[in-house]
Amino acid sequence: MTTAVTQTWYMTQRQLMVFARQPAYAVIMLVQPVVWLFLFGALFRNVVELGGFGTTSYLDYLVPGVVVMSALGSNMWAGMGTLEEIQRGTLDRFLTTPASRAALMNGNVVHNGIVTAFQSVVIVLLGLLGGADYPGGVTGVLVLVVASVLLGTVFGALSNALGMLVRERESIIGINTFLLLPLTFLSSAFMAPDQMPSWMRHIADFNPLNWAMTAGRSALSADPDPGAVLYRGGALLALAVAAVWLSIRTLRSYQRSV
């Protein structure tokens, strides 16, 4: 067991190093959130006057939405990296060592989690710079970060599974572009549920993206609802475990196909 943990850390380190040595990635990763926070936020500033946002500053409302959306955006491409490792022969090289099979997959999950946490914290700080207010304090931020990491894990693991199953970049690109906008707009990212058409609100109730946003937003508010936070956090955790399990299963099916 301990060797599996150590090996997971080796695999995590390996990927963090790639991230650290290519700072352009980190910059690109943060450009989009900045656009959403400050351009979109300024453009729709007056939308809070419609009511139902639970705050008088649209930026306060927007930060959790952008954090979660960015977690989706940075994790849903994880499969591309896995695909590259398959094509380069790296995965096969690791598979012929005695390293724990779970460590090979989990290194990726842990790495994505660390990167998502970093990205989330930076967005929260950018929001703070822009004048956002977080009455929920550090605990609230922590809940938001954990929720976005869990959501990222769900989509990162699914993306890895997809990469190993279809082994085509085009399929990952196609599915991601197909999913990104509907998932975002069928959530409370930009608009308070009270202002959404009722059918949209009902769909959003089943959208994991919305679970993470609602949990984070509640925790950041002046009077958090622990029940609602735990309920949605638990659901995200269950989904994340299921997605990681699925990605480890697809590793086995990959091995059958080589």
Residues that bind another protein in the complex, under the rule CB under 8 A: 3, 7, 10, 14, 17-18, 21-22, 85, 87-99, 255-258
Nearer to another protein, 25 or 118 (CB): 25
DSSP annotation of 65: H
CA dist., res. 206 & res. 215, Å (int): 14
Measured CA to CA in angstroms, residue 75 lies from 86, 100, 141, 150, 190 at distances of 18, 23, 20, 11, 20
Nearer to another protein, 12 or 214 (CB): 12
Measured CA to CA in angstroms, residue 87 lies from 84, 163, 227 at distances of 5, 11, 46
CA dist., res. 242 & res. 66, Å (int): 25
Nearer to another protein, 19 or 185 (CB): 19
Nearer to another protein, 94 or 118 (CB): 94
- Minimum distance from residue 62 beta carbon to another protein (Å): 35
- Minimum distance from residue 166 beta carbon to another protein (Å): 14
Residue 167 region by backbone torsions, left for phi larger than 0, else alpha for psi between -120 and 50, else beta: left
DSSP states of 231-255: HHHHHHHHHHHHHHHHHHHHHHHHH
- Minimum distance from residue 52 beta carbon to another protein (Å): 47
Nearer to another protein, 16 or 228 (CB): 16
- Minimum distance from residue 216 beta carbon to another protein (Å): 33
Rg (the chain; Cα; Å): 19
Nearer to another protein, 97 or 198 (CB): 97
- Minimum distance from residue 16 beta carbon to another protein (Å): 11
- Minimum distance from residue 171 beta carbon to another protein (Å): 17
Show Cβ contacts of residue 248 under 8 Å, excluding neighbours closer than 6 positions: 101, 102, 105
